[in-house]
Structure 1
């Protein structure tokens, strides 16, 4: 019988000072669907509607999860076409 070992505790990285931000434009009729898909992806980020008539969203996410967030946006391009307007670099 194998001996069970306790898993090592992983050190969490220090929390970031600020969230990373991206502004995207989507079709205004797709905002609700976008929210649903973002929340379904383990709450990868949050967003604020900057202009509901033009469909401009401000997306905020942890800089430590940038790769996952980019993959989410890339996978979304087929179902909800979007355009990246601005990336806030702090």
Structure 2
């Protein structure tokens, strides 16, 4: 009889979320929200500038790979420009 595998322990909670700023066409914001929610809320976003389409995305550092893959796939659907983080640039 095979032994039951022990579940791997969860990593400790991150001290802070990963942050990425992106710019899309303002008319694509609703579609972006729809597609992001379809990915089980992989990230949360705040509209930093609705007239220019600048979004602040927050995600778990433990899911950074999945987040990057999602954004790469989404780049095929709409124009996405990754912006520098103003907190780091200052």
TM-score (norm 1): 0.88
Q: Give the structure with the higher percent strand.
A: 1
CA distance in 1, matches of 2:37, 2:83: 22
How many pairs does the alignment contain?
87
Q: How does 1:6-45 map to 2 (within 5 A)?
A: 6-45=4-43
**Structure 1 counterpart of 2:62, from 61, 64, 75:** 64
- Give the superposed CA RMSD: 1.5
Q: Going by fraction, where is helix more abundant, 1 or 2?
A: 2
SS at match of 1:34: helix
Q: Take 2:5 and 2:27, find their aligned partners in 1: how far apart are those partners?
A: 47
Structure 1: how far apart are the matches of 2:5 and 2:64?
27
Structure 2: state its 5+ residue gaps.
none
Structure 1 residue runs of 4+, over 6 Å off? none
